[in-house]
Amino acid sequence: MTSAELNGSGPVASAELNGSGPVITSAELVLPFDIEDLEKTLNYKFKNKKLLVEAFTDPSYGKNYVSYERLELLGDSILNMV
């Protein structure tokens, strides 16, 4: 599946999909399988391939990805100490 097929010509973004996070272009998202092969195997056509890509992509993947989970953990730990 090409990036154009995934999302027209724009970026696939975590912000676009779930309302938060920076843009990760579809060129940076690589699935370990072909979506068309998966659809044939399951005999099911996915309506929203963007969500499929997001589901199979680790949140930490992508050089443009900024994660606040570590800061959240640090903040929670500090609050628990106080």
Assess contact for 29 and 65: CB atoms under 8 A. no
Assess contact for 50 and 6: CB atoms under 8 A. yes
Residue 29's pLDDT is 57
Range 14-34 average pLDDT: 55
Encoding tokens for residue 61? Answer: 């993947």
Range 1-13 average pLDDT: 44
Does the pLDDT of residue 60 top 60, yes or no?
yes
Tell me the pTM: 0.39
As a whole number of Å, the CA-based R_g of the chain is: 16
Encoding tokens for residue 71? Answer: 């800061």
Instruction: Please name which of 26, 75, 73, 81 lies closest in space to residue 52, comparing C-alpha atoms.
Output: 26
Question: Alpha helices, DSSP H only, in 3-58?
Answer: 3-7, 14-18, 35-42, 49-55
